[in-house]
Amino acid sequence: MTNLANKQKGTFTIELVMVLILFSFVVVFTMDIVSKQAVAGKLDRLAYSTVSLIKERTQLFDGEDDMSTVEAATFLRLVSESLEATMESFDSSRLGVFIEQQRFNSEQQPISSGSGNGTFDLGGYNCEPATRLSQKLELAPVTNFGNRLTLYQVTICYRTDNMFGELMGETWELARSTAISVAR
């Protein structure tokens, strides 16, 4: 009788260890998802705010239609400082910002903008968007005067910690947000 009870205790212990290992994977996965969602929420708000500032820069700062490299660097610094103020363990080498501007000529055809060709890849992390602005030209509305308005797209990426990915031998660390706006 005691031999059977010892075998049942051993089986219970093995099952308990397996359940606890599975439970710990679920806890780490949940923590990883929550932290990535928190970062993604910050990036969403910041991308929307940044694209709004970019579209209003001609009105607010008497700027030119073409965005310059200096202006793009200023927006990178603004994004970096904002994230540094809201994230505890912010590291600027994990940040990437991709700014695109698409202008149109009088025949409503896309034209290149400035020396950066209307695109600025900034920061210490490659952040090229999944879909470039040149593939979304139909979003540019046509004014009453027959002109297409300039489009702006800001993509902000941040390489988050890879807690669950390290356990699984994968890389799931990128948080990305994209915002699009139309000029005035």
Say how many domains are in the chain: 1
Average pLDDT over residues 52-67: 74
pLDDT at residue 87 is higher than 90: no
71 pLDDT above the threshold of 80:
yes
* 157-183 tens-digit pLDDT: 998 877 666 666 666 667 889 999 988
pLDDT at residue number 13: 84
Of the two residues 113 and 20, the one the predictor is more confident about is: 20
The predicted-structure confidence for 14-46, as pLDDT tens digits, reads as follows 888 999 989 988 888 888 888 888 889 999 999
CB-CB contact of 23 with 124 (8 Å): no
What stretch of H or E contains 99? strand 95-104
Q: Percent of the chain at pLDDT above 70?
A: 82
| DSSP secondary structure letters along 23-74 | HHHHHHHHHHHHHHHHHHHHHHHHHHHHHHHHHHHHHHH---SSPPHHHHHH
Whether the per-residue pLDDT at 90 is higher than 70: the answer is: yes
Confidence (pLDDT) at 12: 81
- Select the more confidently predicted residue: 130 or 44: 44
Q: Using CA atoms, how far apart are residues 15 and 26, in angstroms rounded to an integer? A: 17
Residue 165, CA distances (Å) to 129, 171, 175 in order: 22, 5, 14
Residue 5 reports pLDDT greater than 80: no
DSSP H helix total and E strand total for the chain: 3, 5
Distances (CA, A) of 33 to 3, 36, 46, 139, 161: 45, 5, 20, 32, 11
Q: 153 in helix, strand or coil? A: strand
Cβ neighbours, 10 Å, residue 99: 26
What does the alpha-carbon distance between residue 133 and residue 139 come to, in Å, rounded to a whole number? Answer: 9
Looking at residue 85, what is its pLDDT? 92
Q: Report pTM.
A: 0.78
| Domain encompassing residue 100 | 2-182
Residue 117's closest CA among 133, 97, 140, 101? 101
Lowest mean pLDDT of 49-53, 59-63, 66-70, 99-103, name the range. Answer: 59-63
pLDDT at 169: 63
Q: CA angle 178-78-86, nearest 5°?
A: 80
